[in-house]
Each structure stands twice: as structure tokens, then as C-alpha cells.
Amino acid sequence: MRAIIIQRKKIEDVDLSKFQDVWIVAEIKDSKIRNVSFELLGKAKDLASELNQKTCVVLIGDNVKRFSEEFAKRGADRIYVAEHEALKNYYTGTYSAVITGIISKYNPNIVLYPATINGRDLAPRVAANIRLGLTADCTGLSIHDGLLLQTRPAFGGNIMADIICPTTRPQMATVRPNVMEQASIQENGNVEIIEVPVKVDLQGLKVKTTEVISGTAAECGIPVCEADTIVSGGRGVGSKENFKLIEDLANVLNAAVGASRAAVDLGWIPKSQQVGQSGNTVSPKIYIACGISGTIQHLVGMKSSDIIIAINKDPEATIFSVANYGIVGDLCEVIPLLTKALKEKLSQN
């Protein structure tokens, strides 16, 4: 805390009082609201209630108004709907132009974006458009003296930095999926809907999406952030070839393949699958940790999983302290037996 303070001269005097409400930019994928949108809403509601302001959702896309009810049920006060056929697929140019327009017109106090592939692309472009800062990849958000305190790992995860924006508005942050709790469903969902007119020069677009090709899980792997089940391997897996054991078990369970940083650093699996402080934060229903010791940097990324199963040959391994079920043994023996048994069991159902 307070290791480094960077102070810059105030650029101009901004009347902060005209910036009100806490917004989230929702993400829709494959005609479904991504869970991270409800996580952002949950956090936005807490912040808004502390500031005594409204919680608002920006819905952007083609034919997206139909998702309003889902946010209303979860406690949104107002929804800005920006619909246009040109917004059917995400594209930085169109999305950032529309969001910039809505922000400039309605002056929010805080805007939260998901730290997904699209959100990480969109938020900096919007920030650049309105010449503001942005705190990327926040793991914590709170209100301190009326300001948004944005907490994120810095210097490779060695320190947690608290960032505030005292002189500019809106205060903007991207938030990692699976970190915040989802807004729960409430009974009465009174919501104000504002339909924002969208004008897009279809001829003037530099990029046009002609086709979206989604791969199957078997072809391109399930992203760890979105998986209900994850089978993760660590240094104890022993080699890149042995990672096939992890993949076989994952395939039987239709699970994502995850890894510790040690396994990533050894080049056994891509960084995109890393779980932990400097990788992904995950919260699946089942997390199977194979040959992972359970250092704090790994645990912070997976400890909120519903059920944790650990396979490790060391009975003293820290991972067993967070595991619901533990198997002490050599993973090269245990995993093939487990995979075989599950395959048989699942083929009977």
C-alpha cells in the first residue's frame, strides 16, 4: 500500500457534480448474456448504493432490448439500449463510437467493462476517445471518500495497487470475470429503458464481418474462464507429453484444461490457460488440480471453485488444505484409472 504515488497536474477544472450513476457495459455472446455482466452489475449495485446513485446497464448489439428484463430482475435502475444491425458482431470502431456517444451525452460517474477479450479491446478505445484514464483488470472496487478505489495487481502481481481518479470523470475500469459476485434475482424489477438512436455509415466501415466461425471445444479448447469443470496440471505432470493425461480426463468430463504458472513457464500449455494471480481467475463447479502444490498465487485464482479435487503424491501438499476431496498418489497412475472409470460410468448413462 502507498508504495508509489504518481501525481500529475490537473488538466482542467471539471464540474464533477454533473457526473452521476454507476454504469456497466454488458456483454452478449452467442445470443446469451455473459455471466461477467451480472458480476459487474452486482458490484455496480454496491457502489451505486454507497454513492446513493443509480445502477445503469448499457446494452449494445442487434436486437438486444429483449435482454433488458434479465437486468431489471437483477436490480438495474436504468438501461440504455443501442441497437443496430451493424452492431450484430463486435467491432472496435462501431462499438467504441456508440459507447463514447452515450457516455458523452449522459455523463456517468463510473463505467465498468468486463475484462474479456472484447471488453479489453473496447474500454481503452473509449477511454482514448474521451481522453480519460482507465484501470485495466481490476480485482477489487470500492468507494473511498466518494471516489472509486480501483485495485489491481501490479508489477507482475507482486503488489496490489489502489488507483483513484480524483479530477476526471467518468471513472472507468475493466473487471476480471469470476472475481465479483453476480447480482441476484429480485422480485420487483422496475426499470427505465432509454433507447439510444444509433447511426452507422455502413458503407464507411473499414472492417466488415462476413462470417463468424465458432470452433467446437474439441477443436479449440474450452476457455478456462467460462468452464464449469476444469482439469489443471502443474509441474508434477512431469512433461509436455504427460499433459495428454490431463487432456484425456478433461475430454471425458467436457472440461477445460488449466495449468499452474510452472507448467506454462515450462512450455507445456499456453499462457491463456494459466490459473492464478497472474493468469485467469476461475470459479467452476469442479476444479481438479493435478500435480499442483497449491501456492498462494495459484490458490487466489481458483479457491472459490464449488468443489476442489486434488491429486498429489505429497500428502503434505498445501493444495489439500483447500480441497474437498484429495487423492494421494502418482498422477501418472491415478489419472488414467480415473479417466477409464469415468468413461465407463458415463457411457452407461
Residues that bind ligand FAD (CB under 6 A): 156-158, 234-236, 238, 260-263, 274-279, 291-293, 295, 297-298, 301, 311-314, 317, 330-332
Question: Which C-beta is closer to ligand FAD: that of 12 or that of 316?
Answer: 316
Q: Residue 203 has what DSSP assignment? A: G
CB of 262 to ligand FAD, least distance (A): 3
In angstroms, what CA-CA distances link 298 with 29, 39, 345, 346?
Answer: 28, 22, 31, 30
Question: Which C-beta is closer to ligand FAD: that of 22 or that of 319?
Answer: 319
Question: Which C-beta is closer to ligand FAD: that of 114 or that of 153?
Answer: 153
Q: Residue 287 has what DSSP assignment? A: E
Question: Which C-beta is closer to ligand FAD: that of 189 or that of 329?
Answer: 329
CB of 283 to ligand FAD, least distance (A): 15
Q: How far, rounded to the nearest angstrom, does the alpha carbon of residue 36 sit from its chain's CA centroid?
A: 5
DSSP string of 243-255, one letter each residue: HHHHHHHHHHHT-
Which cell goes with 259? 495449468
Question: Which C-beta is closer to ligand FAD: that of 30 or that of 241?
Answer: 241
Question: Which C-beta is closer to ligand FAD: that of 103 or that of 231?
Answer: 231
44-50 LR contacts (CB < 8 Å, sep 24+): 44/110, 44/112, 45/75, 45/183, 47/22, 47/110, 47/141, 47/142, 47/143, 47/148, 48/21, 48/22, 48/77, 50/143
Helix (H, G, I), strand (E, B) or coil at 128: helix
CB of 154 to ligand FAD, least distance (A): 10
Alpha carbon distance 169, 171 (integer Å): 5
CB of 139 to ligand FAD, least distance (A): 12
Closest CA relative to residue 272, chosen from 321, 319, 231, 221: 221
In angstroms, what CA-CA distances link 147 with 164, 181, 344?
Answer: 7, 21, 56
Which cell goes with 307? 468443489
CB of 247 to ligand FAD, least distance (A): 16
CB of 208 to ligand FAD, least distance (A): 38
Helix (H, G, I), strand (E, B) or coil at 288: strand
CB of 221 to ligand FAD, least distance (A): 18
Question: Which C-beta is closer to ligand FAD: that of 108 or that of 276?
Answer: 276
